[in-house]
Amino acid sequence: MEKIALPPPPSKRLIKTSLHQAVLDERLQQVRLLVDKHRAKVDTKDVHGRTPLMLSCMIDNSVLGYRMADVLIKAGADANLKDGMGRTAMSYACMNAREHIVKLILKEDALNLTEPDSDGNTSLHHAAACGNPLIVRALAKAFHRFGLHPDSRNKLGYTAFLVACKSGHFASAYYLITIAKASPSLRDGEFHLSAEEWIQKAARQKRGSDRGQIASAPAVIQRPLASLAFERDNTMYQKPWVPICRLYRTPNTYRAVDSTVQLPEIANHDVSSATRSELVINSMEVC
């Protein structure tokens, strides 16, 4: 009877391979050499269970990380593999707000977007918490296209929509409820708050932090009217500071996105390029 080869225990796994090290060192040409010429195994896991594709989502240089991820995926890297914490490459791409890698992985055919990690968080949870609404919009479109359920809960009872509302990521919350059709009536399992209650609480916290920034802003040194000096002399040795405009918009109104949820009112505001701000939705600023 033929014996089945079992995976080595975690204590005897390789700490990392040369491909892992090349990714960590951000050496794109070495990664290409190892993959194309030496046929390095792209799905080998290190001592933490992480593959080179996962590491490419975590390095500091996001441009090189994207190029390495592209090389690894074209070489057949499996985006569904999990590490010791149950996280996939998509999980790390969402956690680190790597928008281009997320869109690259979404092109894969056999991709499981609803698989939770050891904390119960899916990729949609991590995207809602990262603060890049364009990632949430891309995932929300994928959930809608494949008919996936966007309201799975983590171990604390939070859905991705509740995570976005709790974090004050109003643009992400908008995309989740309008594109992915997230439920606005659910409550979390930790504090038993609804989405509307989390939105109001996050809005109050943002207003409080903005007032703190204004209170701590450096005083502007006034120049005598008769003195002859360049205009720049007043500011060149001071920290640049611009007051946040939404503090001066009163009263603070809200826009009903759903019958039970109100996001902060959206005012007309032209933005020429795509923005990743959680305070802008469809080229309109959230007040």
For the stretch 150-200, pLDDT in tens is: 999 999 999 999 999 999 999 999 999 999 999 999 999 999 999 999 999
- The domain tally of the chain equals 2
More confident residue, 269 or 64: 64
The answer to whether residue 225 is domain-embedded is no
The answer to whether residue 30 is domain-embedded is yes
My answer on whether 19 and 107 are in the same domain is yes
How many Cα neighbours within 13 Å face the side chain of 172?
33
Q: Which of 85, 112, 139 is the last residue of a domain?
A: 112
The answer to whether residue 212 is domain-embedded is no
Q: C-alpha distances in angstroms, 27 versus 33, 67, 193, 212? A: 10, 11, 47, 43
The answer to whether residue 26 is domain-embedded is yes
My answer on whether 140 and 165 are in the same domain is yes
Q: Which of 74, 91, 112 is the last residue of a domain?
A: 112
My answer on whether 85 and 106 are in the same domain is yes
pLDDT tens digit sequence for 22-32: 999 999 999 99
The answer to whether residue 199 is domain-embedded is yes
My answer on whether 28 and 56 are in the same domain is yes
Q: What is the CATH number of the domain that holds 189?
A: 1.25.40.20
In the prediction, which pLDDT does 266 show? 39
pLDDT tens digit sequence for 216-238: 555 544 444 443 433 444 444 44
> What CA–CA distance (Å, rounded) separates 152 from 125?
9
Share of the chain above pLDDT 70, in %: 69
My answer on whether 63 and 138 are in the same domain is no
My answer on whether 59 and 127 are in the same domain is no
Structural domain span for residue 142:
115-206
Share of the chain above pLDDT 90, in %: 64
My answer on whether 23 and 62 are in the same domain is yes
My answer on whether 127 and 202 are in the same domain is yes
My answer on whether 40 and 120 are in the same domain is no
My answer on whether 18 and 52 are in the same domain is yes
| Nearest of 82, 88, 174 to residue 128 by alpha carbon | 174
The answer to whether residue 162 is domain-embedded is yes
Q: Which of 91, 112, 133 is the last residue of a domain?
A: 112
My answer on whether 124 and 93 are in the same domain is no
In the prediction, which pLDDT does 243 show? 41
The answer to whether residue 25 is domain-embedded is yes
